[in-house]
Amino acid sequence: MCTKKKREMRLGLINLMICVFLVTSNLGLTVALTNNSSQIKNICEFPAIFNFGDSNSDTGGLTAVYGQALPPNGQTFFGKPVGRFCDGRLVIDFVAESLGLPYLSAYLDSIGSNFSHGANFATAGSTIRPQNTTITQSGYSPISLDIQYAEYYKFYKESQVVRNQGGVFEELLPKEGYFTRALYTFDIGQNDITAGYKLNLTTEQVKASIPDIINQFAKVVRGVYAQGGRSFWIHNTGPLGCLPYMLDHFLLTAAQVDEFGCASPLNEVSQYYNSQLEDIVTQLRRDLPLASITFVDIYSIKLKLITQAKRHGFEKPLVACCGIGGKYNFNNTMRCGSTEIVNGKEILVAKSCDNPSKRIIWDGIHYTEAANKWIVDQIMKDSSYTNPSIPLEMACQKLN
């Protein structure tokens, strides 16, 4: 599982020369929203969600194969580890809640899964591009986005046949028509950037790999569209340079650290990726005339939370809640949930902080439930974070 996966980055950072600012466009659509999400009419009435991604949205895919996440993962909401690398709910869980849908079962999870309202193809450590398994003892998931698409394709083709057998299958699989009316969500790309560094590429080389990464991403969106998918909700990637696992493993010069303590070259690479992602989304809207594609600026929301932590009721924005030691409470060989044998007894060494609800970063890599909730609240109440400016509940509407 995640703790055993060595995603360490042994590399020196090369200066970045180009800084591309993230552009969010606003179509000026005025939508009346109340603070109470339950009062918003679910205009689209999405009957299902199909999600593609990495650990930011994995609800049990990786752990279905490699073993359950360690405690204290899951402690805040579920009371036990439930396949999420978080103390509680993820952004995708809050998205499902706000659409009135159940939490998504992981496609790979054979125990207790219920796909009547969607499936989650995300696995922790997933990249968009396939990883070279010869050299990747790297900790990246073998379930890259192309594999997630293959899983989705099989599920789409075969679930209706099985559903028609009736009985329990009728209750566990999506109804006919759900695939077209569903919301297709994507949150992936972060690991493609770190994978480049893992191969000792320079920042310029990592940036040079991004167009191919983006093209591979677009291929999957086109594939889902070809199967009848129409509503897409695409998250950009967060500020990589503000995460403890990155800060811990790069040797940063003073000039590479911004006023908030984040690694600016890494944030610039994230922004570079995001600007190309937004460009391809624009292209996809032209190429896929029946699709509604919403681009969600997760980067700006997460950066706002980290850089204005106190104002929003959070503390220690760059320090992991669950972990042990070092400036960021993160030790790559002793990640959240790590134990030690002391006097013949196994004791939890890398444990949770006292108050995860006041913290942003959970384990040095992932966000806390409190942060995830805050992030979704921003999306729900400020439609300027989405392009087009549209609430989640209306993301089936074609505005561009």
Ligand X SMILES: *[C@@H]1O[C@H](CO)[C@@H](O)[C@H](O)[C@H]1NC(C)=O
Token duo for residue 301: 């929301």
Residue number, 168 or 342, with CB nearest to ligand X: 168
Q: Is residue 172 involved in binding ligand X (CB under 6 A)?
A: yes
Q: Provide the b/e sequence for 210-249 (b: ≥16 CB within 10 Å).
A: beebbebbbebbeebbeeebbbbbbbbbbbbbbbbbbbbb
Closest CA to 151 of 113, 177, 181: 113
Closest CA to 258 of 298, 307, 301, 302: 307
In sequence order, what are the residues at sequence separation of 6 or more whose Cβ sits closer than 8 angstroms to the Cβ of residue 145?
A: 52, 126, 127, 128, 129, 188, 216, 217, 220
The residue annotated as part of the active site, out of 55, 292, 300, 389, is 55
Residue choice 15, 25, 26, 132 for contact with ligand X (CB under 6 A): 132
Q: Are 42 and 101 in contact (CB under 8 A)?
A: no
Contacting ligand X within 88-107 (CB under 6 A): 102
Compute how many other C-beta atoms are within 10 angstroms of the C-beta atom of residue 4: 11
Residue choice 167, 333, 341, 346 for contact with ligand X (CB under 6 A): 333
Q: Is residue 205 involved in binding ligand X (CB under 6 A)?
A: no
Closest CA to 241 of 193, 294, 195, 199: 193
The Cα–Cα gap between 224 and 218 comes to 10
366 is an active site residue: yes
Candidates 55-63, 140-148, 181-189, 324-332 — which segment interacts with ligand X by CB under 6 A?
324-332
How many residues sit close enough to ligand X to count as binding (CB under 6 A)? 18
Cis amide prior to 244 (ω within 30 degrees): no
Q: Is residue 341 involved in binding ligand X (CB under 6 A)?
A: no
Q: Which residue shows structure tokens 């552009």? A: 23
Residue choice 15, 34, 164, 200 for contact with ligand X (CB under 6 A): 200
Residue choice 135, 251, 255, 341 for contact with ligand X (CB under 6 A): 135
235 is an active site residue: no
Q: Angle at CA 36, nearest 5°, toward 230 and 297?
A: 45
Give the DSSP letter string of 10-29.
-EEPPPP-------------
Token duo for residue 250: 């790069």
Q: Is residue 355 involved in binding ligand X (CB under 6 A)?
A: no
Residue number, 107 or 385, with CB nearest to ligand X: 107
Q: Angle at CA 145, nearest 5°, toward 99 and 233?
A: 30
Residue number, 147 or 172, with CB nearest to ligand X: 172
* Minimum distance of ligand X from residue 302's CB (angstroms): 26
Residue choice 55, 57, 116, 329 for contact with ligand X (CB under 6 A): 116
249 is an active site residue: no
* Minimum distance of ligand X from residue 55's CB (angstroms): 21
Residue choice 185, 194, 331, 352 for contact with ligand X (CB under 6 A): 331
What one-character DSSP code corresponds to residue 38? Answer: G
Q: Is residue 254 involved in binding ligand X (CB under 6 A)?
A: no
Residue number, 133 or 215, with CB nearest to ligand X: 133
Residue choice 32, 168, 251, 341 for contact with ligand X (CB under 6 A): 168
Residue choice 45, 158, 170, 171 for contact with ligand X (CB under 6 A): 171
Q: Is residue 6 involved in binding ligand X (CB under 6 A)?
A: no
The Cα–Cα gap between 238 and 356 comes to 20
Please give the residue ranges that form the binding site for ligand X (CB under 6 A): 10, 102, 114, 116-117, 132, 134-135, 168, 171-172, 199-200, 325-326, 331, 333-334
Which residues are catalytically annotated?
55, 363, 366
